[in-house]
Structure 1
Amino acid sequence: MSEDDEDFAGCRPLLFTIAYEILGSAADAEDVVQDSYLRWHAVRGKGIGHPRAYLVRTVTRQALNHLRAARRRREEYVGPWLPEPVRTAPDVSEDVVLAESVSMAMLLVLETLGPDERAVFVLREVFGYSHREVAGLVGRSEATVRQIAHRAREHVRARRKRFHHDPGTAREVVGRFLSAAGTGDVGTLMSLLAPGVVHVSDGGGLVSAARRPVAGRERVARFVAGVARRSAPGTRFDITSCNALPAVLFRVGDRIDQALVFEISGGLVHGMYAVGNPHKLGAAVTPRLLSRKGHETWKP
């Protein structure tokens, strides 16, 4: 591997994280990063003074192009659309800003922003770029970026949900939840759910899934018990972390059948996101490194 390739590899987690937060799709984010590498490979050695800045700009603009096209596809999506769950290492939660920014709740809030607002918010609020730097990354004037950033920040602030969970307590809650679901114990399930709990399922029209969110303690408990009762024989599960949140991966044979991501606060489940669309489960196979920083030798 050449020195340039090593530098790119060091920057890849940053580039992927930017693309994923703009797109909400791990597969599309990986395509954007790979395309950016090919563009970098074609121009390296041609007087680029700040390689990391070049790559971040390239990834941002490619992600914006992908997002505008994806918006049209998502309008025709069957049932609720959820971001692709990304399996994360436990230490991701140590970076509070990063952990919140990749949570399912935040990614769904970001879905309500326009493409430019989303990119500006992510670059400014999550990655800490200045208004001037963001202007260069998205190809807008600094004054315009300031206006977009203010509008996006107010929009997110009005809609964001904050959940603070203790990893040890969360894992215990998930374990008790799975045990109760497996035995059909609706009463215990209800005791683990917050009154306003919401369960959202994404099957993409490819697998069986609720076409609308299920809300309320009793309705969610009965829904979960019913799903568990109908699960395929031999289904296994792993308790892990996706999007810096406690999660369960259900496996049938060698494949992941579903990823269930939990929002837990105060010892109660406030939200569940069940992703069964097989096209969205690739990034849940192995832990992925997410980062708000790049290679130290590459500084804009």
Structure 2
Amino acid sequence: MRGTTTIDDGLHDFLGVRDRLLRIARGIAGPDAEDVVQDAWLRWNGTDRTVVRDAPAFLSRTTTRLSLTRTQTAYARHQSPVGLCPPDPGGRGDDPAALAVAADELRGAMALLLARLGPRERVAYLLREAFALPYRQIAGLLGVSEAHARQLTRRARARLAAPGDGQVSSVDQHGLLAAFSEVSRTGDPAALVSLAA
């Protein structure tokens, strides 16, 4: 009974944000959006949900990461940029090797954001797509109008979808990854906002 309740609760949480997840995936991965959302469901279904504090934020972040990984993988198949994209590892559990692969994926996603987006675009994009903040709040954090916050996010999506490459400083990559991890852990966007200057 308890197992069924957990599965039902997880399905309810997932279906409650599925439309948002599809919007995130379409904005990043385009035609692969449905596959990305299915992967997010599989990841969610295999997650110990008792340790998840905010299901919508967790699912949005997972979908963003999966979308970025899929975009990188597709780009790598066509362009083969050296060091930009790790191979798609397929299914993972919670073992140390799987966690290392997930960490590599996240580092690759941060490198892609650094290579393609300006500081404000990066921050606006992550706050919207990974943490599902409303545009009004993003605008307030960045000190811009709501329309400008929307424009920053739209521009970021377009640049991520376009082919391109660039050099990424390991210091910048570490800084963005640390800020992203801090916001994921605390829910306070200040660490990312500080990188928008």
What TM-score do the two structures reach when normalised by structure 1?
A: 0.29
What TM-score, normalized by structure 2, do the two folds share?
A: 0.42
RCO higher in structure (CA 8 A, sep ≥6): 1
Which is richer in helix? 2
Task: State which structure, 1 or 2, has the greater radius of gyration over its C-alpha atoms.
Answer: 1
